[in-house]
Structures are given as C-alpha cells and as structure tokens.
Structure 1
Amino acid sequence: MRALSLIMAVVAVACAGCGGASGTEDAAGADRPVGPVTMVVPFAAGGGSDIAGRAVADGLVSVTPGLNISVDNREGGQGAVGYSYLLGKAGSPQYLLATETSLLSLPASVDVAFSHRSFTPIFKVGEDFTLLVARPDSPITSCADAVEQARHRRVLAAISGAMGPDAVVFSQMRATTGADIDTVPYEGGGESMAAVLGGQVELASLNPSEVIGQLRAGELKALCVFADQRYTYPELADIPTSVEQGVGVVFAQFRGVIAPGELNPQAREFWVQAARRFADSPAYREYVASEFLQARPAFGEQFGAYLAATQGPVEQVVSR
C-alpha cells in the first residue's frame, strides 16, 4: 500500500495543471506534426523502454523526410508520470510515447486518470520475453531453484516498476507455485541491473536487450526465460524456459508506440503510415534482431484491439 500511495502522490504532483488538452504550442488539433516531435519514455535511461523509444524514434526519422524526434525521459511513479504527461497533450501530434505492458497493469492496480483508451494506438513493435538472472556466484542455479529457495528463505528480486511487466511475472509465479519472491521496484532496467550486480538483490527480471552484454561478459547468468519455447537467437538458445523447469509462467510484454488521445484522424494516419514504413525497413529488422524481440507488428486499430484483448488477462494477474 505504501508503494501505491507513493505512486499516486508522484503522479498528482507531476500532473498538476495537465488535465486538459495542451495549448497552441503543442499544435493540438493539427493534421500532422509541425517542427520537432518528442518521444516520451516513461522510465529512466538505459532500460528496455529507453532503448525501444530511441530506436523507434530513429527509425521513424529514417523513413520520414524532414521529421525530427527527440527523446524525453520522464520517469517516476513506476511509469505513471510519463503517461500522465502524455494525457495532458490531448490532440497534439507533436508527442509519442514508448509504451509497454505497464500501460495496462498500472490502471489495473493504481488509481490513475488514464487507461489505454485515453491514448491513440499507433504501432505495436514486437514482443519481449523476460529473463530471470543472477550473479554467477549466486547459489540459485535455475528458475525452479529460485522457487524452491524462496519457500525456505527470503529472496529479493529487482523489477522495473512496482506495477509493470516484471511485477506481473512474479505475481504469476506466486499464483502458480506458491513461492513468494520479494520484489524491489526500480525506475528502469538500468537501475535493476545495477542492483543485482551490486548485490543489493539476488535476482533481477530483465529483457534480453538489457542484459546481453553482462551475459556475454560472464557478469550475470540467466536462470530461465519466462516462455514456453526457447529463443531461436543463437546467443539465447541455450537458456531453458520456465516451463521446461516446471514453473508454468509464460508472459510476453509488448513494446509499442502511442500518441495522445483526441488526435485529428489525419494526424493519426500520418503516424500509422510512418510506422508502417519503418516496419518495412531494414532499420526495423535490425532493431528487432539487436533487441532479441519477436517481430509481431500491429498498427492503429489493430494495435488497439490487441490492447483491449490483453487488458483482461493482465488485470486478472495484477488484482490477485
């Protein structure tokens, strides 16, 4: 309850005065962006959301002559500050936000002023399965071992956001195994990484793109991937799945891009078409491969339908 109260307090401060559509400086109601565009990242620099936001911003620029996008990290409230900021930009085509599963899990668990329907869905970039990692000297040797040890002693795990995708994963683990691994929320994958490397926590839930360098260097070891099939990428193919180890937790978070609500239909179409061009480009394929994503793009209303279909399962897990 204390974590929820802190999130609500931070959001209230950040959103003061941003309840309605923004002023003319944000081009509210315009049929396309004019001048610099801002990609909001609702988490700290260095994590998976930050990597995704910067890659998509660069990709959209590469396929749209004259477009200029800068990245603005607005972390806080476990992602809610960034979403609340975008909420105040209603109607403006000058803003995008690098979104992921916290768009669904936050409204399901915290009293925030937004849901996924508050925004304009533009582009689902792909899907990302989480790895459970530990330092090489950790006595925990597998995902199943983490479950077993958590039944007999306190095990701490770092997660990105108290109500984000990593929290969903550990909630599923508690529901399916009864093992209660204590989670410590951080503002992004970079902070979670530092916590496990520094020994403040024993485990961390991180995306492959966030942790591949440390795995290659031997600074961390992967205990499992929370999936029902192994990754086919050579660097990850030897990591066993949670299902293989008898832990029935499978969860893919999405990565995508949303725009403010109440967009002019022509502005929405501008961004959807830009996203389609990016998805057809070598830059998209390079990004997906470099971040070890599952390439499952969806655009506009199709992405909105995906969000609506995914909302229920996420709410069921978070509300347990």
Structure 2
Amino acid sequence: MIALAMAFGALAPVALAAPAAGVAAALPVAAQTAECANPEFANDTIEIMAPAAPGGGWDTTAREMQRVFQESGVADGVEVYNVEGAGGSVGIAQLANDEKGNDHQLMMMGLVMVGAIATNQSPVTLDDVTPIARLTTEFEVVVVPADSEYQTLDDLMAAFQADPTAISWGGGSAGGTDHILVGLMAQAVGVDPTQVNYVPFSGGGEALAAILGGQVTAGVSGVGEWIDQIEAGELRALAVSGAAASSGTPEAGAAASPTPTIAPTLKEQGVDVELANWRGLMAPPEISDEGRQCLITLVQQMRDSEEWQATLAQYGWQDYFLAGDEYGTFLTEERDRVTTILQELGLVA
C-alpha cells in the first residue's frame, strides 16, 4: 500500500486530558434509566452494527457485547454485522436511512466517528440518529513490529524528527483518534504536522496486518485492539497515551482511569500528550420512546453484569457509562471539542 501523507495545518498547543472512568457511573441509576415497559422486548433479535472492518475496536466491542448479552441472560438473540467505510460514515448513513424506526437495532460508535463525520463532511451526522449509551474508554498504544529497528520511543521519535515523511504511521480512519494522536505527538516534538505520513485503515485488523507486514513503520490504536499481539511478542509497545502508569482496574466511579503497564506513557518519555478513546451506542432515528427506553435498560443491565466487568478487565477498557439524554448532551459537547482540534490539525476548515 502506498503511504499517504495526510495534511495537517499548524497546531496550536492543545491539552487533551483523558476522561475519568466512572464519571457517569457515579450518577444515580434512576437519573440515567427507567425500566423497560415491555417485558417481551428482549425476546426479539437485537442487531448490532460494527461500522468498520472485522478485528478493530468497534467490531471487538460489539462482539463482546453480543457474548455478554447472551451469557448474562439479558438478551438471547443478538447478532453482529459489519458495514465498512469512511470511519463509520457509511454505517451511520445506513442506520439513519435504512433502519429508521427499528427499535431492535444498535450501532457501535465512538470518538473516531465524531472526527470522521467532520473530516468526511458526511451529510448524515449524530444529530440524525438516537443516542443510547456511552460504554467504555481506553488509552491508545504506539507499537512497532517485534523485529523493528526502533527499540524505544526515543529511537522512533528521533528518526521522526530527522525525516518525518520517512516514518509512516498506520491507524484508523482519517480524523479519528489514532490520527489525532499522531498529529499531537508531532506537535509535541517540534515536527511540522504537514509532514506527518499517516496511512488510514478501515479497522484495527487491517492496520495490524499492515504493521506486521512492514507496510508502515509504526501503528497507533486502542490498547485492547492489539493487546494479544503485544503479549505474544509480535508487536513491541513503545508508549501508551495515559497520564501516569499504574496497574489494576478501578472500581466503577473511581476518579481516574489506570494506564496499562505494557509500556511507559508518552508523558513519562518526554512527549507531552495525553489522550483517551471512548465508545458508545446509537439507534436509528424515529424509534419509539418505549423502544429507546428498553434499549437503554438492556444495555445498562449488560453493563452491570459480572461478565461485562470481566470483559473490561480483559481488554483494559474502563467503564464510562452514560445513558439517554445525558449521553446526547455529551455527544454535542464532544462534537464541538473534536471539531476545534481537527481545525487546528488542518483536517477540516
């Protein structure tokens, strides 16, 4: 694959603090959800769209949800399917246009989609679909193949500073979390962001194949997407995008997300950047009030299960639950925040 240099504009200094895990979990449950008024709702099949290629974060989260829904007994008939393209812009258009009024349809999404919608100038936006719940947050990881000449982050960043275009970075869609992180890293070490050579992929699985195949120099993704390859020794983790390394997973409502100990943080290695990626769920437009409430209730029951708590620990995800109208307000604020960052990166006008 030919490496495509994605153009960045001049970057103003941007402080991106990672959201604290459990912020929403500390809210009273009654403020987030009410009971589903239809006891038969979960008897019908619920479909979850992962709007990216198999193997990435959205796909993994959707399929883990499917498993937990069924193993916890919250819902038996849950199916997952993929709709690839443009950082989720293709998927959200299908959700809005083809699934209108479908009370049993969900779509996985997250910070990546917020950026992709703006970058791609998508005619369908988050305003055109129905917010259900925010689920998780996790830090990003910077990796190289195990046989890479770059043993440390210092090695990689020294080469990046010496010849920025010679270092290609593989990650998710243009304008998404991975792309933003590389741009901020460039700014932090004095590299002209217009020189960043960023290669976007449809999902973490495609990016992983490119990294292992030597098509790109380094990769950026959520920790949970590549943790198996890191632990197996196929990838070398050079840095994570948290604030300070710690171990363990906090209880719901804890004040801060722990940073995985697979590598030192960017900040600990002199690159003053911190960033976290969140994921959540949307439903089609024009669903019934009852259907919306039942979806929120089922998702919260899934989130509260022991099986889901074990899944969070397995993938290094942090609980970041927020539902319904409060989630809708968060999305509006996040859209404005991300648009400002992308403007400073030169990715949107």
Q: From the superposition, tell whether residues 222 and 181 of structure 1 become closer, same or farther in structure 2 (CA, over 3 Å).
A: farther
Structure 1 residue 291, shift from structure 2 partner: 1.2
Alignment RMSD? 2.4
Structure 1 residue 77, shift from structure 2 partner: 2.2
Structure 2: gaps spanning 5 or more residues: 7-37, 250-258
Distance in 1 (CA, whole Å) between partners of 2:286 and 2:141 is 37
Alignment correspondent of 1:136: 146
Structure 1 residue 64, shift from structure 2 partner: 5.6
Matches within 5 A, 1:89-238: 89-153=99-163, 154-179=166-191, 180-233=195-248, 236-238=260-262
Deviating more after overlay: 85-94 vs 122-131: 85-94
Q: From the superposition, tell whether residues 139 and 213 of structure 1 become closer, same or farther in structure 2 (CA, over 3 Å).
A: same
Does the CA contact (< 8 Å) of 1:126 and 1:294 recur in 2?
yes
Structure 1: gaps spanning 5 or more residues: 5-30
Matches within 5 A, 1:1-320: 35-63=44-72, 67-88=76-97, 89-153=99-163, 154-179=166-191, 180-233=195-248, 236-319=260-343, 320=345
- Aligned-residue sequence identity (percent) comes to 26
Deviating more after overlay: 114-123 vs 199-208: 114-123
Deviating more after overlay: 245-254 vs 107-116: 107-116
Offset from partner CA, 1:161-180 (integer Å, 9 cap, x none): 12221112112223333324
Does the CA contact (< 8 Å) of 2:137 and 2:320 recur in 1?
yes
Deviating more after overlay: 229-238 vs 275-284: 229-238
Distance in 2 (CA, whole Å) between partners of 1:114 and 1:281 is 34
Deviating more after overlay: 239-248 vs 174-183: 174-183
Does the CA contact (< 8 Å) of 1:189 and 1:210 recur in 2?
yes
Structure 1 residue 65, shift from structure 2 partner: 5.5
Distance in 1 (CA, whole Å) between partners of 2:72 and 2:5 is 41
Offset from partner CA, 1:230-272 (integer Å, 9 cap, x none): 2524994251111111212211110111111222111110011
Scaled by the length of structure 1, the TM-score of the pair is: 0.84
Query: RCO (CA 8 Å, sep 6+): is it higher in 1 or 2?
Result: 2
Distance in 1 (CA, whole Å) between partners of 2:113 and 2:130 is 12
Does the CA contact (< 8 Å) of 1:3 and 1:162 recur in 2?
no
Which amino acid counterpart does residue 218 of structure 2 have in structure 1?
Answer: L
Distance in 2 (CA, whole Å) between partners of 1:71 and 1:184 is 27
Structure 1 residue 308, shift from structure 2 partner: 2.0
Alignment correspondent of 1:8: none
Q: From the superposition, tell whether residues 183 and 158 of structure 1 become closer, same or farther in structure 2 (CA, over 3 Å).
A: same
Does the CA contact (< 8 Å) of 2:237 and 2:262 recur in 1?
no
Counterpart of 2:269 in 1: which secondary structure? coil
Distance in 2 (CA, whole Å) between partners of 1:255 and 1:126 is 5
Scaled by the length of structure 2, the TM-score of the pair is: 0.77
Which amino acid counterpart does residue 56 of structure 1 have in structure 2?
Answer: M
Does the CA contact (< 8 Å) of 2:110 and 2:278 recur in 1?
yes
